[in-house]
Structure 1
């Protein structure tokens, strides 16, 4: 699969307070592990697009002096955790708490990186990569074959093996069930299974063809043409998979969930309000591509994903093939 995305793995919780100092503000806070509430030392904390940054102490605390009033974006970065970016508006005397579930790379030492002068970034793994996803309750053993990032295009190939984690209590088990359901709803897999089952309308998906000439600029309703399952999908000769084929770009609108604030931040569209639906695009690199009964694309680089599918098709959102959403 080729993705217009950057792999983002959440990993910290950062509460802070703001106190006034003349016309500037002093921002104080503490960075904690979201699952255990243990303090995280040696964590880099800085205000975006500024020279104002620091490192947390042994208790996870930090202090940023001379912060201008107004909306800010705070970045939190620590080895073994994903970078976290949160928007906040420091107000004297006010406490704000931001929590992100953890998705942790257990054995980063197995990875080897290579960066070319022309901007291509590659990663290889000497052994399977182990990822602990405390947001969804899985431990992944990922057999990485290839990872490459060039500009805004990220492509990777590999096979994950899922092992369920044991919840600490019934509350965590319920949270994992809810997070898994949310990860599935509106995902590429959800769409492809609805397409295979001829349930696009029931699952709140709309399907359009988008001429390639208009795909590279801002699209409007006038650019796209409604299409249907029968025009793009047919069973393979042995009935083991389905063939998906279309020369134009596909646009998929999901009406079941609104856009998230995190998506707007990732897409650099945080200045506008979230829409009440999610829009994705798919462009085929091979003709046709094969879809298996689980709603997975068989060819590793058979399609390029844009917009919401690119945002959600990340390792932190992966679910095992056996996952079935509740009725």
Structure 2
């Protein structure tokens, strides 16, 4: 009887040891899928460290500050492609795309150039009517006209250097990051505006974007921010791409159509009925409905998905009324074109390699009042 109990006790110990080993193995496996990025930020000419430089993943809230010796550390990054941006006051912000195919510790050194004087721009020493007029246009175009726009403000407009060309193009750049406070979504956005061009009602702007989380004053404001973030997510590009990956376009309110190549069309032209252009006339002739699963393929890594389409996509958000080219589809309408035939995203809809994709229509109207960081996560 005693011997049987001893064997039973030993078996239990072996089983417990197995469970512990399994747990350790699983934990190690989970940890091993991430990347820790370390390195140093220095002056390109002198090699001197740039203390407290900002090192961050572009368009996200993931970032850190270097220490007093210019050393930085970014842990828990996913394998795959990331665009790192590095900024320091008085220096040109740099961006670099990195690809990590294996987990572990990676080291990248960044060397920054001192900032150059902006060329060909009109600098206003003091406030005047012309600058104020231009500033209103720039503010409107950056913040947008969404339901959240009035809760956003540009904190430091004085860093904008504004120019107007003879042909009527309104341009702007920043001497240091433009700070935008979005009190609707709970973010402070630091935007290095490399270029801004406004002409004939159309705007183009580019640069590096760093999101900083604001501290809510109470639990009520925290809930309000989260609710507004969910509203901003609905119908966004991130929402669309995540729905493609999950093959849930229709359930999420999207209808996606793919342009049929000329060689496969039934007819060479589309005829309107009684002068009315409808989607029904174009189906099986110029465009066809397509499911998300037909657009998505696995990438080289488990963190990647390929969105593949050799022809243009036409997208409708059926949960939002809007203008479209078709009288029978009065919903928010967008077009997406892939010059390279594809782009690379994460399963959550984060565009990691855009490959120069072009977007027009409703989805191209995102501004800072509704913009979410790429790493924003919806509730499971």
TM-score greater than 0.5 by the shorter chain: yes
Among 298, 303, 319, the alignment partner of 2:372 is: 319
Asked whether 1:310 is paired with 2:372, we answer: no
Asked whether 1:220 is paired with 2:220, we answer: no
Structure-1 separation of matches of 2:277 and 2:356? 24
1:61 corresponds to which residue? none
1:295 corresponds to which residue? 349
Among 109, 115, 132, the alignment partner of 2:158 is: 109
Structure-1 separation of matches of 2:378 and 2:244? 16
Report the 3-state secondary structure (helix = DSSP H, G, I; strand = E; otherwise coil) of the residue aligned with 2:227.
Answer: helix
Asked whether 1:237 is paired with 2:303, we answer: no
Structure-2 separation of matches of 1:160 and 1:186? 22
1:53 corresponds to which residue? none
Which structure 2 residues correspond to residues 87-126 of structure 1 after superposition, within 5 A? 101-126=150-175
Structure-2 separation of matches of 1:283 and 1:304? 5
Structure-2 separation of matches of 1:280 and 1:239? 29
TM-superposed CA distance for 1:80, in Å, is: 9.6
Indicate the larger mover: 299-308 or 241-250. 299-308
2:179 corresponds to which residue? 130
2:206 corresponds to which residue? 157
Structure-2 separation of matches of 1:112 and 1:302? 28
> Retained in 2: the 8 A contact 1:241–1:293?
yes
In 2 relative to 1, CA 193–206 (structure 1 residues): closer, same or farther, beyond 3 Å?
same
TM-superposed CA distance for 1:211, in Å, is: 5.6
Q: What are the Cα deviations for residues 170-191 of structure 1, in whole angstroms up to 9, with x where unaligned?
A: 4433322221111001111001
Structure-1 separation of matches of 2:138 and 2:258? 41
Structure-1 separation of matches of 2:198 and 2:254? 30
Q: What are the Cα deviations for residues 151-172 of structure 1, in whole angstroms up to 9, with x where unaligned?
A: 4543333332222223334443
TM-score calculated relative to the size of structure 2? 0.50
2:320 corresponds to which residue? 258
Structure-2 separation of matches of 1:315 and 1:165? 15
In 2 relative to 1, CA 211–80 (structure 1 residues): closer, same or farther, beyond 3 Å?
closer
TM-superposed CA distance for 1:308, in Å, is: 1.7
Report the 3-state secondary structure (helix = DSSP H, G, I; strand = E; otherwise coil) of the residue aligned with 1:222.
Answer: helix
TM-superposed CA distance for 1:150, in Å, is: 4.5
Higher helix share: 2
Structure-2 separation of matches of 1:103 and 1:280? 26
Structure-2 separation of matches of 1:229 and 1:130? 37
> Retained in 1: the 8 A contact 2:315–2:334?
yes
1:200 corresponds to which residue? 249
> Retained in 1: the 8 A contact 2:344–2:354?
no
In 2 relative to 1, CA 294–120 (structure 1 residues): closer, same or farther, beyond 3 Å?
farther
What is the RMSD computed on CA atoms of the aligned residues? Answer: 3.9
2:30 corresponds to which residue? none
Among 186, 193, 199, the alignment partner of 1:144 is: 193
> Retained in 2: the 8 A contact 1:155–1:301?
no
1:74 corresponds to which residue? none
In 2 relative to 1, CA 237–171 (structure 1 residues): closer, same or farther, beyond 3 Å?
closer
Among 328, 331, 334, the alignment partner of 1:280 is: 334
Between structure 1 and structure 2, the one with the greater Rg is 2
Relative contact order higher in (CA < 8 Å, ≥ 6 apart): 1
Report the 3-state secondary structure (helix = DSSP H, G, I; strand = E; otherwise coil) of the residue aligned with 1:101.
Answer: helix
Asked whether 1:191 is paired with 2:254, we answer: no
Structure-2 separation of matches of 1:235 and 1:99? 36
Q: What are the Cα deviations for residues 124-170 of structure 1, in whole angstroms up to 9, with x where unaligned?
A: 21111111011211111123333334445433333322222233344
TM-superposed CA distance for 1:321, in Å, is: 2.8
Q: What are the Cα deviations for residues 264-298 of structure 1, in whole angstroms up to 9, with x where unaligned?
A: 7xx9xxxx9x95x4332212234322223441334
